[in-house]
Structure 1
Amino acid sequence: MPHSTTHPRLQLRHITKQYPGCLANDAIDLTIQPGEIHALLGENGAGKSTLMKIIYGVVQPDAGQIIWQGQPLSMRNPAQARALGIGMVFQHFSLFETLTVAQNIALAMGAAAGTPKQLEPEIREVSQRYGMAVEPQRLVHSLSIGERQKVEIIRCLMQDIRLLILDEPTSVLTPQEAQDLFVTLRRLAEEGCSILFISHKLGEVRALCHSATVLRGGKVSGHCVPNECSDLQLARLMVGDAQGLVAQYPKAAGNAPFLHVEKLSWHNPDPFGCSLIEVDLQVRSAEIVGIAGVAGNGQDELLALLSGEQTLSRAQAQRIRFGEQGVAHLRPDVRRRQGLAFVPAERLGHGAVPDMSLADNALLTAFQQGLVSKGLIQRGKVEALAHTIIERFAVKTPDARTAARSLSGGNLQKFILGREILQNPKLLVAAHPTWGVDVGAAAAIHRALIALRDAGAAIVVISEDLDELFQISDRVGALSGGRLSTLVPTAQTTQVQIGGWMAGQFDTGHLPQPDAASHI
């Protein structure tokens, strides 16, 4: 429990931040006690990121007051925040992959802290004390995602840490790694460190956090004790009407197989990439297959090979088949004519061109849907498709001429997914469909995927979120080190087992075989 003290560790009073056309933070009050693990919850666009940046000195508020351990102050920059004992681990890590752990930590701490060699004993001592043992001489590119997160946290703990801010810290961790992280966070809290924990995983918030502040539309919509609330109650605080946000979908058996991947091996020339080793995958029409895995274990490579962004030779065409048609040698546009739709992991720059309008982004992959005639773009049909996507998938945007970059992550993801679904694909491959998306947008995306499955499409969902995979997948497996486990019915396995497979604890020759009768 939080330590009692004369002053709170941090108080925010009426913090306000206005951007052009957007009131990001509207008179927000927040109090964190020493030794308290405090959750900050809210939809995408609720104001969480802006508030974190204000606390860490990246952004200056327009109005309001920051009180640190009883003393008002102006947080001018991150260097001042670090000097006060505030550390932050961002959702996207900021490590140099070609440097060692010690070199990365030395860079962050500055010359006064000593050379990497001088810091090595302290790194070992701190990492072992908090159950996060990491070898200081390891190169970062050789570390797993979970180990890299440990380096980020150790880097904060090397200073006199008093407040640790964690942004979606478990989004790329296996369940076992997440539990190990929670042990460390609880130990830090017992020693008096305050922790501000930002997460969309409500179950984790309920299990870990002492209290929570919920933001909605830039304002505080409520405070609560998470372990006294249900996921549905927390969702209501975040989005208001939470009807349908916490859903259990019936599992489907599927029909005839549509996607066949047989003994697919591919050597990645990138020294920091992952090669695929004899991947076998079969996906039936009218089923969702979920593939779990920690980032960097072959997901990007498998996605590129399925989408056609990476092709094989004509002699290997049968390694990937749509029905009986070998497609491993075909370009993405040809595969789309065979029934493929694709939602990439990166929304801006891969799924959509940032500076192009939503209408033009709709044209990018749907041009074969009667939007081009005799080499001329049918502008009216393009606009009509974009409007249909916006209406059907509740995309919040002024109109179809709005640039893609101006949408929130959740709304852009709904647009991209809608664009692909409305092409009525026979096969949809979706990467991390709700990554970084709030609970309301995630529920809408899940409903759309289930509806497409029920309409007869074969669907592959690659995700690091086991809660999501178990909610929507009919069968599930895991990628680790470029190898794919056997797929098993979701109802016949557990998150603990799949989490072990994500860590490579499987032998493809001795895995339990799926119950074939349940899928015929």
Structure 2
Amino acid sequence: MTLRLELQKITKKYPSVVANDGVDLSVQPGEIHAVLGENGAGKSTLMKIIFGAVEPDAGTVLWNGKPVRIANPAAARQLGIAMVFQHFSLFDTLTVAENIALGLPSDTKLAELELRIAETAHQYGLELEPQRHVHTLSVGECQRVEIVRALLAKPQLLILDEPTSVLTPQAVSKLFETLRKLADEGCSILYISHKLDEIRALCHTCTVMRGGKVTGVCDPREETDASLSRLMIGAEPPHFSHRPHTPGASILSAHDLSLSKAHPFAVELCDINFEVCAGEILGVAGVSGNGQQELLAALSGEDPRAQANAILLEGKPVGNRPAAWRHAHGLGFVPEERLGRGAVPEMGLADNILLSHQTASTIEYGMIRSGGIANTAKSIIERFHVKAGGPKALATSLSGGNLQKYIVGREVIRKPKVLLVAQPTWGVDVGAAAQIRGELLALRDEGCALLVISEELDELFEISDRLIVMSKGRMSPSVKTSQASLDLIGRWMSGLWDQPATISEGERHDQA
């Protein structure tokens, strides 16, 4: 059988790193092929080469048995290659439909395209509003746009980079059904994920990369999470323990917090009530686009429209206080958007320190202490094992996972009283994810109150002391993690939380 795609000795070098070093890869028609590796292993560069976004320095690409030069993404799409990037390529000021139309023939009728988008999104359980502007979407909703755009092309090869990070367990199952159907119809799929259980459940073949080189090819269905981890990082992932911890006083709370829509496509918040105490992690589950973005804006101070008494920080009314005031009084924030909000792309890592560190070690008499910010950046790079060319490296030069480690580290070392975290390990490899979760637990043990929003339910079960769910701008009651199950939280994510929270021993998450 002729291979759908074959890469021979692909090499790509950058000034400070060899991203791909003589990489070989073979994908058959109808094969779901995983590419696994830690952050910075060279996976994304290799996928960009296949999609024509990056040109290799050496090597050969064979498409359906014939040598090709994929000069740009348009040439890739003509061949039948579609890709969903981890970092999205969407224009904020255009609608969903207008963004998708950019990759289609100029005579495409927008009204017809909107219908096709809505039908495809509904078919695959990825609900979208075609007329909505991208700047009003959450990260999760942007990922849905990218997936639907790729599926509309009916590709021969579909490249997916972390496609399930924003989906419920039910939606993941539906997506897997879709991918298996596509594969049965002859479509080849290159699947990048750090979720080892997904790779083992879905993929036929797995190519493992480390340091820009291929370290092995295996059938993931015959491997364990531990053996895949050893191939990927040379060891099993570091372990951390979630020890029971007695929480202290309430640090951050919301009382009947309601907010009208800030824009036509926002989610209205209705009667939000919760509290998070010192030495506690409160996990917030929910499908992206159900009010999490609006809640974080209200809690962080980016949206100061709330009534003063609707949000309390250490008992003080802060609902109408600006973000800078809350930050100065001990509130930390890790937003879900890494580039553009979590970090300024074209600034160095040291300069990005100033987004959250404005103390005597970084600013003195109104002047920036360049040595101070460089030392702080260096300490984060070393402690969190960030692969970067030093404190002066531009934020945009880092892989998604390494930039995430840096942003989380920047907030953790501040030792805030309260830390709001959105998607702490999105797109982060298994070893780095374990480190980040361990750091969050250590911060909890030191008395910090943490509110963690994540679509990774396994992550929330691992680190949270209590869980709540957001659905359509409303918030469920809280439930102790020890009394919750994936099935229960999955039902609550649909807004069904009128049943008792306590469940039988046989249904508990740790028995699943």
**CA apart distance, 1:322:** 1.9
Specify the alignment match of 1:80 in structure 2. Answer: 75
Q: Is the contact between residue 90 and residue 99 of structure 2 (CA under 8 Å) also seen in structure 1?
A: no
Equivalent in 46, 65, 68 of residue 70 of structure 1? 65
In the alignment, the residues of structure 2 paired with residue 84 and residue 398 of structure 1 have an alpha-carbon distance, to the nearest angstrom, of: 36
Specify the alignment match of 1:42 in structure 2. Answer: 37
Equivalent in 287, 292, 297 of residue 290 of structure 2? 297
Specify the alignment match of 1:423 in structure 2. Answer: 414
In the alignment, the residues of structure 2 paired with residue 151 and residue 366 of structure 1 have an alpha-carbon distance, to the nearest angstrom, of: 35
Specify the alignment match of 2:299 in structure 1. Answer: 306
Specify the alignment match of 1:501 in structure 2. Answer: 492
Specify the alignment match of 1:177 in structure 2. Answer: 171
Cα separation, partners in 2 of 1:337 and 1:373, compared to 1, 3 Å: same
Alignment map for 1:447-458 (pairs within 5 Å):
447-458=438-449
Specify the alignment match of 2:124 in structure 1. Answer: 132
1:214 aligns with 2:208: yes
Specify the alignment match of 2:275 in structure 1. Answer: 282
SS of the equivalent of 1:185 reads: helix
Q: Larger radius of gyration, structure 1 or 2?
A: 1
SS of the equivalent of 1:268 reads: coil
**CA apart distance, 1:28:** 0.7
Amino acid at match of 1:481: K
Specify the alignment match of 1:518 in structure 2. Answer: none
Equivalent in 465, 475, 487 of residue 474 of structure 1? 465
In the alignment, the residues of structure 2 paired with residue 143 and residue 364 of structure 1 have an alpha-carbon distance, to the nearest angstrom, of: 23
In the alignment, the residues of structure 1 paired with residue 132 and residue 54 of structure 2 have an alpha-carbon distance, to the nearest angstrom, of: 29
Q: Deviations over 1:103-135 (max 9, x none)?
A: 7766644257x646777998899889xx53899
| TM-score, L = length of structure 1 | 0.85
Judge which range, 160-169 or 175-184, deviates more: 160-169
Aligned residues: 500
**CA apart distance, 1:280:** 0.8
**CA apart distance, 1:58:** 2.4
In the alignment, the residues of structure 2 paired with residue 457 and residue 267 of structure 1 have an alpha-carbon distance, to the nearest angstrom, of: 30
Cα separation, partners in 2 of 1:134 and 1:408, compared to 1, 3 Å: closer
In the alignment, the residues of structure 1 paired with residue 82 and residue 418 of structure 2 have an alpha-carbon distance, to the nearest angstrom, of: 44
1:225 aligns with 2:219: yes
Specify the alignment match of 1:14 in structure 2. Answer: 9
Q: Is the contact between residue 125 and residue 171 of structure 2 (CA under 8 Å) also seen in structure 1?
A: no
SS of the equivalent of 1:259 reads: strand
**CA apart distance, 1:454:** 0.9
Give 5+ residue unaligned stretches, structure 1: 1-5, 516-520
Q: Is the contact between residue 117 and residue 130 of structure 2 (CA under 8 Å) also seen in structure 1?
A: no
| TM-score, L = length of structure 2 | 0.86
Cα separation, partners in 2 of 1:334 and 1:511, compared to 1, 3 Å: farther
In the alignment, the residues of structure 1 paired with residue 140 and residue 393 of structure 2 have an alpha-carbon distance, to the nearest angstrom, of: 38
Q: Is the contact between residue 118 and residue 129 of structure 2 (CA under 8 Å) also seen in structure 1?
A: no
Q: Deviations over 1:83-121 (max 9, x none)?
A: 3332223343748997686x7766644257x64677799
In the alignment, the residues of structure 2 paired with residue 137 and residue 306 of structure 1 have an alpha-carbon distance, to the nearest angstrom, of: 27
Equivalent in 35, 48, 51 of residue 46 of structure 2? 51
Equivalent in 152, 156, 159 of residue 162 of structure 1? 156
Specify the alignment match of 1:3 in structure 2. Answer: none
Q: Is the contact between residue 293 and residue 464 of structure 1 (CA under 8 Å) also seen in structure 2?
A: yes
Q: What's the % identity of the aligned pairs?
A: 51
Q: Is the contact between residue 145 and residue 173 of structure 1 (CA under 8 Å) also seen in structure 2?
A: no
Q: Is the contact between residue 140 and residue 148 of structure 1 (CA under 8 Å) also seen in structure 2?
A: no
CA RMSD of aligned residues (A): 3.3
Specify the alignment match of 1:317 in structure 2. Answer: 308
Equivalent in 1, 16, 23 of residue 18 of structure 2? 23
Specify the alignment match of 2:508 in structure 1. Answer: none
Q: Is the contact between residue 284 and residue 470 of structure 2 (CA under 8 Å) also seen in structure 1?
A: yes
Q: Is the contact between residue 96 and residue 140 of structure 1 (CA under 8 Å) also seen in structure 2?
A: no
**CA apart distance, 1:452:** 0.6
Specify the alignment match of 2:335 in structure 1. Answer: 344
Amino acid at match of 1:194: S
Specify the alignment match of 1:273 in structure 2. Answer: 266
